[in-house]
């Protein structure tokens, strides 16, 4: 059997009960007017009050240690909660990055002081993070980052420019990947370090970048002579590359890579259930069966993480196939719009469809491009 298989995982009664609990909470939140479902809500829909409520429910930092305010629950329990929140289009963007990757990164590499300062605020839904990896000339090739941290007597001085930093305008911290010493000829990955940067410090400018929908959810972040304390270093000096690789695995492995536009599919089916029987039902059937396969694969990745494995290849598969699925979904719905013309769609559905159409191109970029994902898969399978 290949070491890159996806073990089949059955959802236990406990997990199904948790799923039900989250669904009831979501239903109540919608009925109470806390939010209206949107598409791609984990990137575009930030609501700090809602994040706080999720924290109160014990659904943030679910697998983090109790001594830092976490709940010591399993990766599968976290998966179930995450999946339900995504499928409902709940406004989870504010806390998403902190809960998905930054908290784990701090738990893994941070000092006791950093953990005590930050983790309890992440689990209560009051501390948000941005990812400071990409730069104008460094996206796929992160080893070429030019943002520089120079050692001073008391700590570090940070200079440089990060780009596409999702949510930096509402985040409290950014984990910045910076060069702390020149790379050697033999190894360009040497000399990088990660920093825990408080975004309220002087000399940091966060400038919104408008996307095709006209929204500003990502940013350019400028660091001009920013003074950082010694304690801002996250993990080991010079080990930023290996740290960042682990962080990327967390970023790429979740169900957000194929559930970003589930609200659109669900609304479409409930609206046109009867008309579909006469026409495009096979297209929708194909979408649902693909989605079900992706869910099983992603659930399996969560179980591997729970067992302490590093399913980097399987996560890259899910991300890549998830991106394809979402693109195919939009194309299928566009095809169906030849049968059921757009003017017959309710306005709310048209809006979801238009937003999704404009946002889909970014899916195969964010979190690593299609070519990079395929490269990882090929390398792990020994094909390159």
Instruction: Say if residues 326 and 363 touch (Cβ distance below 8 Å).
Output: yes
77 versus 355: smaller Cβ distance to ligand FAD:
355
Q: Does 45 bind ligand FAD (CB under 6 A)?
A: no
Q: Does 131 bind ligand FAD (CB under 6 A)?
A: yes
Closest CA to 329 of 39, 24, 6, 7: 39
Q: Does 357 bind ligand FAD (CB under 6 A)?
A: no
From 139, 155, 238, 246, residue interacting with ligand FAD (rule: CB under 6 A): 139
Q: Does 133 bind ligand FAD (CB under 6 A)?
A: yes
3-state SS record for 22-51: HHHHHHHHHHCCCCCCCCCHHHHCECHHHH
Stretch that binds ligand FAD, among 13-21, 180-188, 314-322, 363-371 (CB under 6 A): 363-371
Q: Does 365 bind ligand FAD (CB under 6 A)?
A: yes
Site residue total, ligand FAD (CB under 6 A): 18
Q: Does 261 bind ligand FAD (CB under 6 A)?
A: no
Phi-psi sector, 69: left (phi>0), alpha (psi -120 to 50), beta: left
10 versus 383: smaller Cβ distance to ligand FAD:
383
CB of 133 to ligand FAD, least distance (A): 3
Q: Give the chain's count of helices (H) and strands (E).
A: 14, 8
Q: Does 368 bind ligand FAD (CB under 6 A)?
A: yes
Closest CA to 255 of 41, 55, 7, 34: 41
Instruction: Say if residues 164 and 199 touch (Cβ distance below 8 Å).
Output: no
Q: Which of residues 82-111 bind ligand FAD (CB under 6 A)?
A: none
Q: Does 236 bind ligand FAD (CB under 6 A)?
A: no
**What residue has token string 């236990």?**
12
Catalytic residue among 84, 135, 251, 312: 251
Q: Please, where are the H alpha helices in 186-311?
A: 240-252, 256-259, 262-278, 281-306
Cβ-in-10-Å burial (0-12, 13-18, 19+) of 215 comes to middle
51 versus 147: smaller Cβ distance to ligand FAD:
147
Binding region for ligand FAD (CB under 6 A): 130-131, 133-134, 139-140, 164-166, 218, 362, 365-366, 368-369, 371-372, 375
């Amino acid at each position: 059997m290949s070491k890159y298989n996806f073990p089949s995982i059955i959802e236990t009664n406990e997990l199904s009960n948790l799923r039900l609990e989250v669904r009831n909470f979501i239903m109540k939140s919608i009925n109470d007017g806390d939010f209206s479902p949107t598409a791609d809500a984990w990137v575009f829909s930030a609501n700090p009050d809602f994040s706080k409520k999720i924290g109160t429910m014990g659904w943030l930092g679910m697998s983090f240690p109790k001594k830092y305010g976490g709940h010591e629950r399993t990766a599968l329990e976290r998966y179930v909660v995450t999946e339900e929140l995504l499928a409902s289009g709940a406004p989870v963007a504010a806390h998403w990055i902190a809960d998905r990757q930054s908290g784990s990164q701090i738990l893994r590499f941070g000092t006791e002081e950093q953990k005590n300062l930050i983790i309890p605020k992440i689990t209560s839904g009051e501390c948000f993070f941005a990812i400071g990896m990409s730069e104008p000339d460094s996206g796929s090739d992160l080893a070429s980052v030019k943002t520089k941290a120079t050692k001073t007597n008391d700590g570090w001085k940070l200079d440089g420019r990060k780009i596409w930093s999702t949510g930096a305008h509402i985040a409290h911290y950014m984990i910045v990947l910076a060069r702390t010493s020149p790379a050697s000829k033999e190894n360009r990955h040497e000399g990088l370090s990660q920093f825990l940067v408080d975004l309220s410090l002087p000399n940091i400018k966060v400038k919104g970048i408008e996307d095709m929908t006209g929204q500003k959810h990502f940013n350019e972040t400028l660091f001009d002579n920013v003074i950082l304390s010694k304690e801002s270093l996250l993990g080991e000096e010079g080990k930023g590359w290996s740290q960042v690789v682990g962080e990327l695995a967390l970023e790429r492995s979740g169900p957000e890579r194929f559930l970003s536009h589930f609200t659109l599919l669900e609304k479409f089916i409930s609206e046109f259930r009867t008309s579909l029987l006469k026409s495009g039902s096979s297209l929708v059937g194909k979408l649902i069966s693909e989605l079900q396969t992706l869910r099983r694969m992603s659930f399996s990745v969560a179980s591997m993480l729970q067992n302490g494995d590093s399913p980097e290849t399987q996560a890259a598969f899910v991300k890549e196939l998830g991106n394809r699925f979402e693109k195919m979904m939009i194309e299928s719905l566009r095809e169906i719009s030849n049968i059921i013309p757009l003017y017959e769609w309710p306005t709310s559905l048209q809006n979801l469809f238009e937003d999704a159409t404009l946002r889909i191109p970014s899916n195969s970029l964010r979190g690593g491009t299609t070519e990079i994902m395929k490269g990882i898969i090929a390398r792990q399978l020994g094909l390159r």
